[in-house]
Amino acid sequence: MDAPVSDGTNRDRDIVELLRTGGRERAFEALLARYEGKVYRLCCALLHDRSQAEDAAQESLVRVWKALERYDGRAALSSWIYAITRNRCLTALQQRRRHEPAQELNDEAAQAAASEPWDGRTQELRGLIETLPERLRRALLLYYYEERSVSEVACMLGCPEGTAKTALFRARAALGELLKRRGLDDPAYWREDVS
C-alpha cells in the first residue's frame, strides 16, 4: 500500500516537476513567489528582529538556490526550505547571543512585536503568544500562522512528530490558561474583532 502524499508535496508538485525537467531557474522563480514571504515571516518569528530576519531570509533563499539541484524529494519541498531557514536562524541566534547583552535582545523583541501590523484583539493574542516558552511559541506560530502540518512543524523544529504534537498540545493549553486568567476565553470576544 502506498503512503499518502502530504499536502506539502501536492502543493509544490509544479516546482518539483520543473526541477526534474531541468527548469531550475523557473523552479526557483516559482519557489520565490510562493515562499519568499513565508521564509521572511518564519525568520521574524524565530529572530524577533526585522533587520536580522531580512538578512536571514535572504541568506536562506541563497542557500536554497545553491542546494536546489540536490533536493531529492524525500521531504516535502516546503519542509526542506523551512529546515534550511530554521538552521540559518538558529545560527543567527547563536551568533547574536555571543555578541549582544541580554537586555538589548529583550528590547528588540518587544520593539519587533510592537511594530507588527496587527491591531486590536489580534495584537492582544499575539502578545500572549509571545509570552509562551520559545519552543511552544514556535510550534504554535508554524502550525496556526504558517498553516504547516504537524509533520512539517516537526521537521522545521528538528524533532519527532510526537514531540511536535506534544508542543502544540502544551502551547494550546498554556495559551488557553492565559486567556482564562485574563477573562478572554469567551469565543464571542474574538469573533467581534473581524472588520
Mean pLDDT to the nearest integer, 84-94: 85
Residue 112 confidence (pLDDT) above 60: no
Residue by residue, DSSP assigns 42-104 as: HHHHHH--HHHHHHHHHHHHHHHHHHGGG--SSS-HHHHHHHHHHHHHHHHHHHHHHHS-HHH
Domains and CATH numbers, the chain: 11-116 (1.10.1740.10), 120-184 (1.10.10.10)
Q: Which pLDDT value is given to residue 118?
A: 43
Give this prediction's pTM.
0.55
Percent over 90 (pLDDT), the chain: 15
Neighbouring residues of 121: CB distance < 8 A, sequence distance ≥ 6 = 189, 190, 192, 193
**Least confident segment among 38-47, 77-86, 88-97:** 88-97
pLDDT digits (tens, 9 = 90+) for 15-71: 888 888 888 899 999 999 999 999 998 888 888 888 888 999 999 999 999 998 888
Mean pLDDT to the nearest integer, 164-188: 84
Q: Which pLDDT value is given to residue 176?
A: 85
User: Distance between terminal CA atoms of the chain?
Assistant: 47
Q: Which pLDDT value is given to residue 115?
A: 45
Distance CA 90, CA 96 (A): 10
Environment class of 32 (CB within 10 Å of its CB; exposed 0-12, middle 13-18, buried 19+): middle
